[in-house]
Amino acid sequence: MATLSIDDLDLRGRRVLCRVDFNVPLDSDDGATTVADDTRIRAALPTIRKIIADGGKAILMSHLGRPKGEPDPTLSLRPVADYLDDLLDGPVHFCEDTVGDRARTMVHNLPEGGVLLLENTRFNPGEKANDDAFARQLAELADVYVNDAFGTAHRAHASTEGVTHHVPRAAMGYLVAKEIEVLSKVLDAPDAPFVTVLGGAKVSDKIGVIENLIGTVDHILVGGAMSYTFMKALGQQTGSSRVEEDKLDQAKSLYEQAEGTLQLPVDHVVATAFSADAPHRVTQGEIPEGEMGLDIGPATVEAYREKLLGAKTIVWNGPMGVFEMEPFAKGTFAIAETLAEATDAGALTIVGGGDSVAAITQAGYAETVSHVSTGGGAMLTFLEGETLPGIAALSQK
C-alpha cells in the first residue's frame, strides 16, 4: 500500500482542490501589505504548475496566522494571491469567501488551467474544529483533493483531514511527497553514522523525538536552552539559565536511556542577563550563580563538528543558542556551516523548525543542505513515529 500521489490523478478539466501552506509572514509597511518571505509559496509551485499544465482547475486553500474563527482583514490571503499572480504566468483569482455561493460561482467560472485562491480557511470556526459540515462545504468545490501542506499535516483540521472523507480521491502533492520520502528514509533506514543535533527553547518539544530515535541514532548532540534542563537533571549547576523544572525527572531518565549517545555541551557562552549588551564570557562545565547560558562554547562546537563531519545522516532541529542576538549566534552558525560541509562530503542533511530554518537561511546554506523541511511541528511529529492525520487520511493507490 502506498499513498496516492498527484501523478496518479487525471486532472484535465477537473476541479482540483489543493490544500497548500501559504501561512507566510506578511509585511505591512506604509499601508500596503506584502509577503515578507515567499519560501512556502515557492515550495508549492511544482504542484500548482502540474495542475495548470494538465489543464486542471487549481482551487487553492490555506490558513494564514491565527484568526479566531472569524474574518480578520489583517490576515486576508489577498496579498498572497497578488504575489502568486506575479510568480505564475497567468492570472490568479481570489475569492473573498472560503466556501458558499460566491466560491461555487468562481470555481464554476474558472477555466481549465486557471488558478483560484480561496480566503483564509481559519476565518471559519469549522476549520480547526474539523467540523463535518464545513468539510462538506469545502468538498463541494472539488472533483479531487490534493494535500501539499506538509506544515499543517500534523493537524486534523477540516481542510487537511475532514475534507478527505467527502471527496472521491485524495492525493499528496509533490512537496508532501518529498518531505515524506526524506523523513521516512531517516526513520526507517538512516545510513550510519546517524547524528541528530537538537536545540532550541524547550526540551519538552523534543522528548518524543529523542525517545523514538534512541536505538537508531549514533549521537544526539544537545544545545540551546534544553541543555540546561539536562544539566540540572544530572545535578549540575545551571545558574539562572532557562530550565524546565517540571521536566527534570523525564530528562534524567532520557539521558540514562540514551546510554552515552546523548552529549551535552562542555562549555558555554554565559551572560549576566538575557540581553545582547550584557557582559558575557566563555565558561567550562557548570554555570555559576548569577549567569545564564545563552550559547554553546567553542570547545563544544569543535566536539560536535567532529561527530558531524563523520556522519552519513544528520537531522538538525533547534538553534544552539539565542542566535537572534549577535553575541550568542556563533554556535548556531558554526553548526549551520558544518552541516553544509558534511553535505559536500556526501551526508544526507536535513534541517527543520521555523527558527532553525531561519538560521540556516541567514547563514547562507539553505541551498547547500540536502533538505530544508517546511514543517516544524509536522517534522517533529513524524520523527516521534506518530502518524500525521493529514497524510493518513489520503487515499491509497
The answer to the question of residue 319 lying near ligand ADP (CB under 6 A) is yes
Maximum Cα–Cα distance for the chain, whole Å?
Answer: 68
Nearer to ligand ADP, 173 or 321 (CB): 321
Report, in Å, the least distance between residue 179 CB and ligand ADP: 15
Which positions touch Mg ion (CB under 5 A)? Answer: 354-355
The answer to the question of residue 267 lying near ligand ADP (CB under 6 A) is no
The answer to the question of residue 355 lying near ligand ADP (CB under 6 A) is yes
Which of 14, 15, 19, 40 is catalytic? The answer is: 40
Report, in Å, the least distance between residue 64 CB and Mg ion: 18
DSSP three-state, residue 42: helix
Q: Residues 368, 333: contact at Cβ < 8 Å?
A: no
Nearer to ligand ADP, 179 or 355 (CB): 355
The answer to the question of residue 324 lying near ligand ADP (CB under 6 A) is yes
User: Which range binds ligand ADP by CB under 6 A, 12-20, 62-70, 77-85, 195-203?
Assistant: 195-203
Q: For ligand ADP, which residue of 190, 265, 321, 389 counts as binding (CB under 6 A)?
A: 321
The answer to the question of residue 120 lying near ligand ADP (CB under 6 A) is no
- φ, ψ of residue 372 in degrees (nearest 5): -105, 115
Give CA 161 to chain center in angstroms: 18
State the Cα–Cα distance between residues 272 and 354, nearest whole angstrom.
27
State the Cα–Cα distance between residues 151 and 372, nearest whole angstrom.
12
293 catalytic per annotation: no
| b/e sequence 35-70, b meaning 16+ C-beta within 10 Å | beebebbebbbebbebbbebebbbbbbbbbeebeee
Report, in Å, the least distance between residue 191 CB and ligand ADP: 24
155 catalytic per annotation: no
If we measure between CA atoms, which residue out of 43, 115, 116, 33 comes closest to residue 75? 33
377 catalytic per annotation: yes
Q: For ligand ADP, which residue of 45, 96, 354, 366 counts as binding (CB under 6 A)?
A: 354
354 catalytic per annotation: yes
Instruction: Give, in degrees to the nearest 5, the angle at Cα 45 between 44 and 50.
Output: 110
* Residues near 134 by beta carbon (within 8 Å), at least 6 away in sequence: 99, 124, 126, 127, 158, 162
Nearer to Mg ion, 114 or 200 (CB): 200
Report, in Å, the least distance between residue 167 CB and ligand ADP: 32
Report, in Å, the least distance between residue 377 CB and ligand ADP: 8
* Parallel, antiparallel or unpaired: strands 313-317 and 348-352: parallel
DSSP three-state, residue 62: coil
User: Which range binds ligand ADP by CB under 6 A, 146-154, 196-204, 214-222, 388-396?
Assistant: 196-204
Q: For ligand ADP, which residue of 110, 115, 167, 322 counts as binding (CB under 6 A)?
A: 322
Sheet holding 348-352, edge to edge: 262-263, 219-222, 194-198, 313-317, 348-352, 371-372
The answer to the question of residue 151 lying near ligand ADP (CB under 6 A) is no
Report, in Å, the least distance between residue 203 CB and Mg ion: 14
Q: For ligand ADP, which residue of 67, 200, 375, 389 counts as binding (CB under 6 A)?
A: 200
Nearer to Mg ion, 311 or 379 (CB): 379
Please state whether the peptide bond connecting residue 193 to the residue before it is cis, i.e. omega within 30 degrees of 0. yes
DSSP three-state, residue 388: coil
Please tell me what DSSP assigns to residue 111.
P
x-marked contacts with ligand ADP along 204-243 as a string, rule CB under 6 A: -x------------------xx----------------x-
Residues of the shown chain interacting with ligand ADP in the complex, contacts defined by CB under 6 A: 199-201, 205, 224-225, 242, 293-294, 317-319, 321-322, 324, 353-356, 376
Active site residues: 40, 202, 354, 377
